[in-house]
Amino acid sequence: MSGPGPLAGVRVIEVAMNLAGPMVGEILAHMGADVVKVERPEGDDARRWGPPFWKGTSPGYLAVNANKRSITIDLKDPAAVPWLLELVGDADVFVQNLRPGSLEAQGLGAEALTARFPRLVYCSIWAFGRVGPLKLKPGYEPLVQAFSGLMMMNGDEDSPPTRIGTSILDYGTGMWGAMGVLAGLVQRGSTGRGCVVDASLFETGLAWMKGHFASYNTSGVIPERHRTGSHRVVPFESFETKTGPIVVAAGNDRLFAKLAGVLGHPQWAADARFATNAARVTNKPLLLPLIAAVFATGSKGEWIDRLEAEGVPCAVINSLPDAVSHPQAAALGMVQKVPGDDYSLMALPLSFDGVRPAIRRAPPAVGEHTAEVRAERRRTRG
């Protein structure tokens, strides 16, 4: 039941719920793997994260479960474990993000399964990591955004720490997990053995802080929050116009000189206070109000046209509907209709030989494919 793509023929067993673990499986499924999602009889918790709901299912579940098949297994029933082991025996990849220790107690942990199936790539997704004093601590996106330092770096200079407005740790950890799985499959191709892949929301949060950490580690100064701006590059943020904000990113001295010309103040590029990026960072409180005052005299459309004509990087601040309906999004084919239903999902942000993997099947209902997968096992054995 694999689809077209570079992972056609790869079988994945996903024993995962919520977002990060299923994100691993969805990435692999979009690339062509046959992903069998193993759910409790009541289904993935994320199915009930709402409102809103689409035909009784949360959009949060729909967002990370396309191109999969769903079966139900009650892992509290000892009789169910042998069937799951049969499925794993035919699989290339096992993905799990259940409560730490729960699978180990049933002989389904990484050590046991990779010993029994040496070619298996076993991927675990954790909240705080596989080792350390917090390895057993449960965690969700907002908790780990707070704990990793991301919240402290996000928001206005004078506002409280702010959560990033999307599940960046769940989706990012799923991305890292999928990369680890792909590396494990490559290793297996050369050695014949799989491996154990571990990723966690906390590690992803720390990784997303790598730029801030590099600044802190070299200067001893904790970077400050800068709303839409940067503590290393100036100007690199939003400015209000008569008709709404735009973002301007003059990432080097040449671009700043062009920006100064567009704003009618070419002398700024030769001013010792502003001539270099280091000087602009030092004199940011002086420079930004000067720039803001000029932008406030025109509309965002006028400024975008003038900036783009001179090659100064800039953008309007789109709403979600504006972003997904833009001709650029349409040209890329990032929004795809779900087969057999009347809604769309975001596609995989990768293309292979110029073709983006398609959403081939809708996110499955709970246990929708249990009978189908059981029948496949019977044919395989018989």
- Report phi then psi at 64, rounded to 5: -130, 20
Q: Which of 170, 198, 271, 341 is catalytic?
A: 170
CB 72 within 8 A of CB 373: no
Amino acid letter for position 219: S
221-227, long-range: CB < 8 A, 24+ apart: 223/153, 224/157, 225/152, 225/153, 225/154, 225/155, 225/156, 225/157, 225/159, 225/161, 226/157, 227/155, 227/156, 227/157
Q: At what angle do helices 141-148 and 201-208 cross, to 10 degrees?
A: 40
Active site residue 158: no
Hey, which residues does 198 pair with through a beta bridge? Answer: 124
| Interatomic CA distance for residues 163 and 148, integer angstroms | 12
SS3 241: strand
Cα-atom radius of gyration of the chain, to the nearest Å? 25
Active site residues: 170
